[in-house]
A and B are shown apart, each in its own frame.
Chain A
């Protein structure tokens, strides 16, 4: 195992960069993954383009209608309607906005905190490194979902709070990965050259070290994104996400839970969307890892 974990700096020359992009896009699985992620992003950025109805439009006379192909289906309401007669498809589209926004920004927060702390650990070493690594041990060892739920319940489930709490739940692994990568880059001659020419620590870290450790970080961020989407969905399923009437994927499942005897579609549709999006990000992460840096271990 040990020989696989050594991380190689990947300052890839341009022709190699083109070849990994081509290799990546040449795979069918990757294309499917990219298409799904693209669709989810489009839904999040321009929900009006995809949603056939108003996500808040209630009409009790058409509540709990089944999806297309089943008897009782109302034309135009492809995935059926929920307990208040709102169009499920439109709600899914609008929900992607809040779910993806929170997850993306939470990953950014986690990465920003983790990478900064990790860089400093590797560069300074000493007691700072020891203390921080001990803290990451503690946090990684702890079942975070329970703690995140408890904290969100106390500080209140606003978009900002969710982003901060979820982001903080994700920093330790970024710190570990950044630290490990830097330790392997640190001894390279170009770093010594930059030091010899009198560059400051921060400058060396930002312009010489960081660009050379990006690939493992990008690969991990892709996986972290699917973890955050799941965490956001879990919180909103438990009623601790962004509050109604704003639609969230997890919240929609929770709504549907009470109507399983009348209609399966209300909870199964958003659940399927979550599963498919998570799978797509995981697949992309796997492919990115294979393409960018075959030597990075799976951890």
Chain B
């Protein structure tokens, strides 16, 4: 196990170096920070001073080297807009995004797995057809559309929930539902197809032949074995939730990193954009590793040697 872990950690290094290169080039392409930050009528001397102060007058590869060194130390530079540490700005927003992601994840699992199991167990029933149609719909509906429809129905029309913001339980309902729908559909679909696969296996027939109660056949013998691909899907999606987070947080004015990313992009606050891109890649690599380890724990047949 330990050699595998070390190998995986080493494999993550080129990924992170690649991402650092991309985010560095991104900022380089965006033009001269001196002309973005300083007022348009700043003197040439002031510009030179600004460039020297931020190391922008050095050769490009030295700048990239400096950037890497700073990244390793966890220093993401200073936000152009707020003048404070870009890393701190991002960290401040992490709890909000994590809260949204976790609630969505719970919602997706709590709804997706039971409906997938039931759908497979009563294959071709009316409910199965309904579940399958809803999963098709749920995987196609764009976050921004779903979010706005929820706002129009439940905030503007029925006035059950506020249109946005964070703080109360009522405020988390609609953004979490928006973010969860895609995942819910995906979990239901994968659970269904894995359960169908498992329910046809010999050991399930054996369990039934032994006279085990149906509940035990379904949950202990089938579901547990069907869970492995489901866990993979959930784990991979947890990282990709970030795609939906950007839009969902923007629609509901949820003060997390997705909204910060969009705001920073509008304001051309590139150190913050850089920090978000890099930290999310880091997070993603970490989650992937966790999923692989969880995989080994769930399925003893898999050995990492």
Contacts and interface: CB of A to CB of B under 8 A. Distances in A.
Contacts of A272: 145
A271 interface: yes
Output the residue of A146, A260, A261 with the most chain B CB within 10 A: A146
A286 B46 CA distance: 61
Interface stretch (B80-88, B205-213, B239-247): B239-247
Contact of B144 (A226, A240, A253): A253
A146 B261 contact: yes
Contacts of B285: 141
A256 to B, nearest CB: 7
A279 interface: yes
Interface stretch (A53-61, A88-96, A147-155): A147-155
A99 interface: no
Contact of B148 (A135, A138, A253): A253
Interface in A239-259: 239-240, 250, 253-254, 256-257
A138 B15 contact: yes
Given A149-B246, A237-B247, A154 B26 contact: yes
A143 B144 contact: no
A237 B273 CA distance: 19
Interface string B251-288: 10000000001100110100001001100110011001
A152 B288 CA distance: 27
A238 B262 CA distance: 8
B142 A275 contact: yes
Interface in B154-176: 156, 163
A237 B144 contact: yes
A256 B148 contact: yes
Contact of A146 (B14, B137, B145, B242): B242
Nearest to B146: A271
Nearest to A234: B247
B14 A147 contact: no
B43 interface: no
B140 A282 contact: yes
- By secondary structure, the A interface counts as helix
A138 B21 CA distance: 13
A117 interface: no
Contacts of B156: 260-261, 264
B30 A271 contact: no
A147 B151 CA distance: 28
A259 to B, nearest CB: 10
A230 interface: yes
B267 to A, nearest CB: 10
- By secondary structure, the B interface counts as helix
Interface string B121-156: 000000000000000110111111100110110001
A124 B196 CA distance: 40
The contact size tier of chain B is 35 or more
B137 to A, nearest CB: 7
B145 A149 contact: no
B250 interface: yes
B280 A143 contact: yes
Contacts of A222: none
Contacts of B273: 150, 153
A144 interface: yes
Contact of A142 (B26, B247, B276, B284): B284
B187 to A, nearest CB: 15
Contacts of A240: 265
Nearest to A152: B265
Given A154-B26, A238-B262, A143 B140 contact: no
Interface string A262-294: 001001100110110011001100000000000
Nearest to A153: B265
Contact of A143 (B139, B145, B243): B243
B2 interface: no
A143 B281 CA distance: 8
Contacts of B251: 257
A234 B142 contact: yes
B29 interface: yes
Contact of A271 (B14, B23, B142): B142
A149 B71 CA distance: 22
Interface of B: 14-15, 18-19, 22-23, 26, 29-30, 136-137, 139-145, 148-149, 151-152, 156, 163, 239-240, 242-243, 246-247, 250-251, 261-262, 265-266, 268, 273, 276-277, 280-281, 284-285, 288
7 closest A-B pairs (Cβ-Cβ)?
A271-B145, A145-B243, A143-B242, A153-B265, A154-B30, A264-B152, A278-B140
Given A143-B242, A257-B148, 10 more contacts: A141-B288, A146-B243, A147-B22, A153-B265, A154-B29, A234-B144, A264-B152, A275-B137, A275-B145, A278-B142
7 contacts: A153-B266, A153-B268, A233-B142, A253-B144, A264-B156, A278-B140, A279-B137
